[in-house]
């Protein structure tokens, strides 16, 4: 029952009922990525006359977080490339790192040395600040 209400009233916790119905009726699955996101396009790749191009969309695995979309799929979603990553034989170069989602606001976020959240002490610098105290 909880999942029904989440799909009915919220867009940030996955697909809504409207998106589910549209995907079921007009969508064609193109592929998935390493994060479990599922990518769709209009059946047959038909061009929408109002837009001038075919519609493409993603159903997120979990919450709607655009930083979980890898670069190849991002290019396909935004019509930068015509061929989806699942339809090509792409292999990453040895110098390319795997895609990582934005971890800001999570326990895995980057905390530089001296950050209060890192639990460390800020290193002293020349001309360090001295707090003013009233007399």
Task: Write the DSSP string, 90-128.
Answer: ----TTPPPP----TTSTTS---TT-GGGT-PPPP-TT-
pLDDT digits (tens, 9 = 90+) for 49-79: 888 888 999 998 877 888 889 888 999 999 9
CA 112 from centre of chain: 24
pLDDT at 16 over 80: no
pTM reported for the whole predicted model:
0.70
Q: Alpha-carbon distance 93 to 54, whole Å? A: 30
Kindly state the helix (H) or strand (E) to which residue 71 belongs, with its residue range: helix 71-77
């Amino acid at each position: 029952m909880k999942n029904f209400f989440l799909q009915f009233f919220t867009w940030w916790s996955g697909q809504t009922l409207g998106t589910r119905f549209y995907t079921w009726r007009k969508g064609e699955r193109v592929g998935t990525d390493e994060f479990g996101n599922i990518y769709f396009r209009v059946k047959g790749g038909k061009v929408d006359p109002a837009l001038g191009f075919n519609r493409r969309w993603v159903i997120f695995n979990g919450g709607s977080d655009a930083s979980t979309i890898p670069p190849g799929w991002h290019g396909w979603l935004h019509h930068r490339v015509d061929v989806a990553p699942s339809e090509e034989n792409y292999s990453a170069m040895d110098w390319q790192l795997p895609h990582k989602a934005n971890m800001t606001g999570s326990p895995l976020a980057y905390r530089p040395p001296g950050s209060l959240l890192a639990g460390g002490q800020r290193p002293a610098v020349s001309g360090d600040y001295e707090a003013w105290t009233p007399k």
